[in-house]
Amino acid sequence: MDEHILKQRIHTLQDDILRLNNAMFALEASNYKDYPENFLELSFDTAVRAEKIACKLRHLIGEYGAVKREPLMEKIAESHGMKVSRESETIVITIPRLLPKSKRSRSGEFINQPLHYAMSKYCDEHQIEKFRECAVCFVHVYDEKLSLGRIRDYDNTETRNILNTVATFFMTDDSGRWCDAYHTTELGESDCTRVYVMPQETFPGFVSDLKSTPNAMSNFGKNS
């Protein structure tokens, strides 16, 4: 990369960081109790600004050649705490944060790049046979200490790209002909998203077990 272009991009990032800092001050000054919707919008705006900065930095150091892509993605996946595991026949993918809003520039990329690496690494280390027919369950876990007003519609989260990435490694086809998709919401100790990929025949029992837990949103308030 030309040194002049590199410096220009670094200066642009510095400006972005200043704007992020200003957004943080605005978030701190906002009144959550009186204006919860305004606080929520500021929160999303601040988070997306931070994600854009992270993605721009990834591209910058990749184009400049300072850091190779594979070790970079490995460190990012570790820093996010992304995990891929197997429970009997079910693949479990854990993302220790909520999925971003759909249609947010670079938000999907922020998660998808390290997630792609984490799943690729898992498949390299384990013998995986892709599902031909399967069910996929997205469990959206919201921090129980925070407002229930944070809970979003399922069609307002970036699940399509996540499903495409998951399908690359664990499915032969993610179309409706071969794949059933399901979403549910839970309350928990902290925000996270869990994605389960399983044989279709085990799915009814899996959902029944999910719904029987006290943390299931459908059970909220029943035991209070």
What is the tally of structural domains in the chain? 2
Residue with tokens 């988070």: 47
The domain containing residue 56 runs over which residues?
Answer: 1-67
Domain boundary among 67, 85, 115: 67
- Are the C-beta atoms of 135 and 198 separated by less than 8 Å? yes
Indicate if 56 and 81 belong to the same structural domain.
no
Indicate if 90 and 159 belong to the same structural domain.
yes
Indicate if 211 and 172 belong to the same structural domain.
yes
Report pLDDT digits (tens) over 89-137. 999 999 988 887 766 545 556 778 888 889 999 999 998 999 999 999 9
Straight-line distance from the first to the last Cα atom of the chain, in angstroms, rounded to the nearest whole number:
61
Indicate if 38 and 98 belong to the same structural domain.
no
Indicate if 78 and 59 belong to the same structural domain.
no
Q: At what angle do helices 107-125 and 69-80 cross, to 10 degrees?
A: 100
pTM for this prediction? 0.71
Domain boundary among 47, 67, 87: 67
Indicate if 62 and 150 belong to the same structural domain.
no
Indicate if 77 and 53 belong to the same structural domain.
no
Indicate if 194 and 211 belong to the same structural domain.
yes
Distance of CA 87 to the CA centre of its chain: 21
> pLDDT band at residue 184, thresholds of 50, 70 and 90?
very high
Indicate if 222 and 166 belong to the same structural domain.
yes
Using alpha carbons only, how large is the chain's radius of gyration in Å? 20
Report pLDDT digits (tens) over 149-161. 888 888 777 788 8
CATH number of 151's domain: 3.30.1330.70
Indicate if 60 and 122 belong to the same structural domain.
no
Q: At what angle do helices 107-125 and 36-64 cross, to 10 degrees?
A: 60
